[in-house]
Amino acid sequence: MQYVINRMAGKQNPEIGRIVVDSENYRERKHDRLVDDAWAMAQEAKRRRKPVVSEPLSAFDRRIIHTTLHDDAHVTTRSLGDGEFKRVQVMPAPRG
């Protein structure tokens, strides 16, 4: 819907900025859910001492996971797969 609105508005007025559609704080709730998921995956990876893999995510969503866990010295992250919707793998950091 946001894409269509931006296309229509851009045709009417090429100087108009980008329009963001956010119904009932969807974006903020989604961000908060992804942050919670990232911490849960990190805890699981640390507890099990094995990698944990997310569901397929968009590049924007993967970035939230990576940046959330960036400063956690006990885990590392990487993207897996090909195409637009890759997965994030959270791995326990090597000991020592």
pLDDT, tens digit (0-9, with 9 covering 90-100), for 27-59:
899 999 999 999 999 999 999 999 999 999 999
φ, ψ for residue 53 (rounded to 5)?
-115, 135
25: left (phi over 0), alpha (psi -120 to 50) or beta: left
The domain in which residue 17 lies consists of 2-92
* CATH number of the structural domain spanning residue 71: 3.30.1370.50
Q: What is the pLDDT of residue 77?
A: 98
Say what the pLDDT of residue 55 is.
96
Banded model confidence at residue 1, pLDDT cuts 50, 70, 90: confident
What is the count of structural domains for the chain? 1
- Supply 66's token pair: 């990576």
Model confidence pTM above 0.85: no
